[in-house]
């Protein structure tokens, strides 16, 4: 198991370089995930750095699959990918696409069609529980994704089956593709709703490494309830001209904005 912090600045540098190389959108929603992913791979999850497909690994599913550059950045830091993967992101023939794809070692689900990843995670957790496995399932979802009815059905099933091996992490950055999440479809209070559905629920600052570490390390309540972490994040966090600006859901980097971003991430 790899237990060492992953530098959020290094992850953000990989993300912006990938986005520029591939003329990719979805920068803001990848940047809001950085600290969450850094902590998960920094020792909270059980996995083998030498083998992303190790049989006893925990499972991490990125339901908001359009934020996949945050995962790829972790994979680069862990040595599961190389600089050529970053330079050729989204190029013809590359193995990396713009959403999470299950054929990439380390990606456990094909995400991006929103509302699908959590139901798959629940099924995996249910299977592992029936096998009496000690492996855990971690699922990162977006707050905008919580619009989908399939998410709430999956939560009901997880609670009913007492899936204490499941942790749902909500990247609550307050935005979705077409605007402010609360204006598109009011979701709050998210923590109270997860609790009402039978989850042991905590909220934290999703960019505060000690806070997110404490929230993710926290054990269950001893009653077999699934867990939910409502991580309050900022879309585009870490780069001043992107932070809380939803235009960076679709805006592409230019040579000038890439240089400005990398200067801030030195």
How many domains in the chain? 1
For residue 192, what pLDDT is reported?
Answer: 98
Does residue 232 form part of some domain?
yes
Is the pLDDT at 261 greater than 90? The verdict is yes
pTM comes to 0.96
Q: How confident is the model at residue 217 (pLDDT cuts 50, 70, 90)?
A: confident
Does residue 117 form part of some domain?
yes
Does residue 98 form part of some domain?
yes
Q: How confident is the model at residue 3 (pLDDT cuts 50, 70, 90)?
A: low
Does residue 96 form part of some domain?
yes
Average pLDDT, rounded, for the chain: 95
Q: Could you give the percent of the chain with pLDDT greater than 90?
A: 92
For residue 25, the enclosing domain spans: 8-264
CATH code assigned at 143: 3.40.50.970
For residue 221, what pLDDT is reported?
Answer: 67
Does residue 211 form part of some domain?
yes
Does residue 124 form part of some domain?
yes
Is the pLDDT at 2 greater than 50? The verdict is no
Q: What integer is the mean pLDDT of 24-36? A: 97
Is the pLDDT at 1 greater than 80? The verdict is no
Q: How confident is the model at residue 219 (pLDDT cuts 50, 70, 90)?
A: low
Nearest to 81 by CA among 91, 73, 69, 92: 73
Q: Which ranges constitute the DSSP H helices of the chain? A: 8-22, 27-31, 34-39, 68-78, 83-87, 117-130, 149-160, 181-184, 190-196, 209-217, 255-264
Give first-to-last CA distance, the chain, whole Å: 29
User: What pLDDT digit, counting tens, does each position of 121-160 carry?
Assistant: 999 999 999 999 999 999 999 999 999 999 999 999 999 9
Is the pLDDT at 222 greater than 70? The verdict is no
User: What pLDDT digit, counting tens, does each position of 47-92 carry?
Assistant: 999 999 999 999 999 999 999 999 999 999 999 999 999 999 999 9
């Amino acid at each position: 198991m790899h237990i060492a912090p992953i530098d959020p600045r290094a992850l953000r540098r990989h993300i912006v370089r990938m986005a520029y190389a591939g003329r990719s959108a979805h920068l803001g929603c990848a940047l809001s995930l950085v600290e969450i992913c850094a902590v998960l791979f920094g020792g909270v999850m059980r996995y083998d750095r030498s083998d992303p497909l190790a049989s006893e690994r925990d499972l991490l599913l990125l339901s908001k699959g359009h934020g996949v550059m945050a995962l790829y950045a972790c994979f680069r830091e862990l040595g599961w990918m190389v600089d050529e993967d970053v330079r050729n992101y989204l190029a013809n023939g590359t193995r990396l696409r713009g959403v999470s794809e299950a054929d990439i070692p380390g990606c456990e689900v094909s995400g991006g069609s929103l509302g699908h990843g959590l139901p798959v995670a629940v099924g995996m957790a249910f299977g592992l529980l029936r096998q009496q496995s000690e492996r855990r399932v971690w699922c990162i979802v977006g707050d905008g994704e919580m619009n989908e009815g399939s998410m709430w059905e999956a939560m009901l099933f997880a609670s009913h089956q007492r899936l204490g091996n499941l942790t749902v992490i909500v990247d609550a950055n307050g935005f979705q593709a077409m605007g402010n999440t609360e204006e598109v479809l009011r979701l709050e209070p998210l923590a109270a709703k997860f609790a009402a559905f039978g989850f042991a629920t905590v909220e934290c600052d999703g960019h505060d490494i000690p806070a997110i570490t404490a929230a993710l390390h926290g054990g269950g309540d001893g009653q077999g309830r699934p867990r939910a972490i409502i991580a309050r994040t900022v879309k585009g966090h870490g780069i001043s001209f992107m932070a809380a600006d939803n235009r960076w859901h679709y805006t592409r980097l230019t040579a000038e904005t890439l240089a400005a971003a990398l200067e801030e991430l030195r």
